[in-house]
């Protein structure tokens, strides 16, 4: 194969979009991004990419390739997968040409030999080996060990996965621009070369000499059986058909061609009104084969392709056989249906808990004073403290005082702790300042009351030096060993004598006399 053609799904037109000189060994499409990928194997094996109309051809993967075949593009992961027949590998790469991964090689699976075809399904790559016919699967990111599914399929060389949502839109909010392109033959999605924004492009069979531009919104668009109107906001064409023609076919088919099954009636808008116990766009699903719907209506879920029960008010469950209160417990009360919501109605003397809307607690949650009694109003279910004798001392409910004390006591303790901390800090700071503050020394002269100089003098012998006698008469005994003054204070006839070594003995004698 050396060329690629695009063909209308109806099979009536085709367009040559790509022609190559080398053989094309694999092809993969990314329809939501308007891209296609293929591989060529010659002296320089390479994987190429181009727009769906065949324009803007570029090399995509050009190194570490020997013989790439069987390209598969996984739309959810936006990754291109392929097998290298000669390298015995399964590899992938993202749409930006980065994050290339070798999912599987002979180091991970020694029996892997000449893989020839792969496909991707729900997070796994499934492949077949050409010579041995071995079917295997591996995690699409190569994080798990490969698994051999079946062996001895020698005539199987290709593998293809088919499932309903394979080509469903995976990009959230994706709108196919071809829906409003109104091309005369075929339309493809391509990215804008400058901005990369997805846009539509009309392609036509060159053998038909017709304009490939967007068709006009006229009566011809409505197949000659209606008038065409273009919505200025959505740019969509809409046909207002003549009587007897269906708008969903652009006035091409008459009523009676809705394809309604099981006795369904075709409406003017192309929808079907189904007969009893049948549902679906064409009344194709029979509800009588669906067990359930005891208290509900059988309906069809288009998105998940299954029947389900739409329960009547007050009922729940897959078969609508359970009331809303089934399984709901209301201690000290009963469950009831309030606008299709299960709620609790409390008995007299109880009220709904503020923490659990399905739990009834006592309405008397306040401690009454002595001799008072908690009573509940049967009409309003409001509790109050009542004095039965009518001769009770009025005072605040104990519960109220307790609540106040609970708040006040911690506050007082906290205040006392703060004051104590402040006092301790102040004392420590004052001590620190006093330790290094300069001290003022005051010289005060005073007598020593413990020393009797007169007796000492009278009891001393005549050999006592005159200098000692002078000291005794001065009466300055703040320090009897120190004379505050200079030598000029001594009488002329006295001079300080050397220290008397017997002075301590004389002091002892005076002490004995006392």
Res 471: pLDDT: 52
Are both 346 and 470 inside the same structural domain?
no
List of residues 6+ apart from 483 with CB closer than 8 A: 471, 474, 476
The total of structural domains in the chain comes to: 3
Is position 209 within any domain? no
Burial of 35 (0-12, 13-18, 19+ CB in 10 A): buried
Is position 506 within any domain? yes
Among the candidates 313, 344, 362, a domain finishes at 362
pLDDT, tens digit, 9 for 90 and up, residues 267-315: 777 788 887 778 887 787 777 656 667 788 888 777 777 778 888 888 8
Q: Looking at residue 137, which CATH number applies to its domain?
A: 2.120.10.30
Among the candidates 150, 182, 203, a domain finishes at 150
pTM of the model: 0.47
Are both 146 and 32 inside the same structural domain?
yes
User: What does the block give as tokens for 370?
Assistant: 């002595």
Are both 137 and 9 inside the same structural domain?
yes
Are both 338 and 473 inside the same structural domain?
no
Are both 31 and 145 inside the same structural domain?
yes
Is position 319 within any domain? no
Is position 314 within any domain? no
Is position 228 within any domain? no
Q: Which helix (H) or strand (E) holds 205?
A: none
Are both 146 and 23 inside the same structural domain?
yes
Is position 468 within any domain? yes
Among the candidates 97, 115, 150, a domain finishes at 150
Are both 7 and 146 inside the same structural domain?
yes
Are both 457 and 356 inside the same structural domain?
no
Cα distance from N-terminal residue to C-terminal residue, the chain: 143
pLDDT, tens digit, 9 for 90 and up, residues 153-192: 888 888 988 877 676 666 666 778 887 788 888 888 899 8
Res 416: pLDDT: 93
Domain that holds residue 481: 453-513
pLDDT, tens digit, 9 for 90 and up, residues 235-263: 888 888 888 787 877 888 877 667 777 77
Are both 340 and 479 inside the same structural domain?
no
Is position 134 within any domain? yes
pLDDT at 86 > cutoff 60:
yes
Q: What is the DSSP string of 295-344?
A: TEEEEEETTTTEEEEEEPTTEESTTS-EETTTT---TTEEEEESSS-EEE
Is position 8 within any domain? yes
């Amino acid at each position: 194969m050396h060329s690629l053609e695009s063909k209308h799904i109806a099979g009536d037109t085709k367009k040559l979009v790509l022609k190559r000189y080398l053989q094309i060994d694999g092809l993969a499409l990314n329809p939501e991004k308007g891209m296609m990928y293929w591989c060529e194997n010659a002296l320089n094996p390479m994987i190429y990419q181009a727009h769906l109309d065949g324009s803007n051809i570029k090399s995509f993967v050009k190194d570490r390739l020997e013989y790439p075949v069987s390209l598969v593009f996984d739309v959810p992961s936006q990754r291109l997968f392929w097998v290298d027949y000669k390298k015995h590998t399964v590899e992938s790469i993202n749409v930006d040409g980065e994050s290339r991964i070798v999912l599987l090689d002979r180091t991970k699976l020694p029996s892997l030999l000449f893989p020839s075809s792969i496909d991707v399904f729900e997070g796994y790559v499934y492949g077949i080996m050409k010579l041995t016919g071995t079917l295997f699967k591996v995690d699409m990111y190569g994080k798990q060990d490969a698994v051999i599914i079946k062996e001895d399929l020698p005539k199987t060389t290709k593998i293809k996965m088919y499932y309903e949502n394979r080509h469903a839109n995976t990009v959230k909010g994706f709108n196919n621009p071809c829906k409003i392109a109104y091309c005369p033959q075929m339309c493809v999605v391509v990215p804008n070369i400058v901005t990369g924004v997805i846009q539509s492009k009309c392609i036509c069979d060159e053998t038909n000499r017709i304009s490939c531009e967007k068709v006009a919104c006229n009566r011809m668009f409505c197949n000659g059986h209606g008038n065409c109107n273009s919505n200025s906001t959505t740019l969509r064409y809409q046909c207002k058909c003549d009587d007897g023609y269906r708008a969903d076919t652009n006035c091409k088919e008459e009523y009676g061609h809705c394809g309604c099954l099981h006795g369904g009636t075709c409406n003017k808008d192309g929808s079907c009104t189904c007969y009893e116990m049948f549902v679906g766009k064409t009344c194709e699903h029979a509800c009588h084969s669906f067990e359930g719907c005891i208290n509900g209506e059988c309906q069809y879920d288009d998105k998940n392709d299954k029947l389900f029960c739409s329960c009547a008010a007050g009922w729940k469950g897959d078969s609508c056989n359970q009331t809303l209160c089934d399984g709901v417990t209301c201690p000290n009360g009963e469950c009831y249906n309030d606008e299709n919501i299960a709620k609790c109605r409390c008995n007299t003397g109880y009220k709904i808990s503020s923490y659990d809307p399905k739990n009834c607690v006592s309405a008397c949650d306040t401690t009454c004073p002595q001799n008072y009694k908690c009573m509940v109003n049967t009409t309003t279910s409001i509790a109050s403290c009542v004095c039965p004798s009518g001769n009770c001392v009025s005072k605040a409910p104990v519960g109220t005082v307790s609540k106040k004390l609970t708040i006040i006591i911690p506050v007082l303790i906290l205040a006392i702790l703060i004051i104590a901390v402040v006092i301790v800090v102040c004392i420590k700071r004052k001590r620190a300042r006093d330790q290094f503050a300069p001290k003022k020394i005051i010289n005060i002269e005073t007598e020593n009351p413990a020393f009797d100089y007169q007796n000492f003098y009278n009891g001393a012998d005549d050999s006592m030096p005159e200098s000692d006698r002078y000291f005794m008469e001065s009466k300055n005994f703040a320090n009897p060993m120190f004379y505050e003054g200079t030598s000029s204070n001594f009488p002329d006839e006295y001079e300080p004598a050397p220290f008397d070594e017997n002075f301590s003995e004389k002091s002892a004698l005076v002490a004995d006399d006392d």
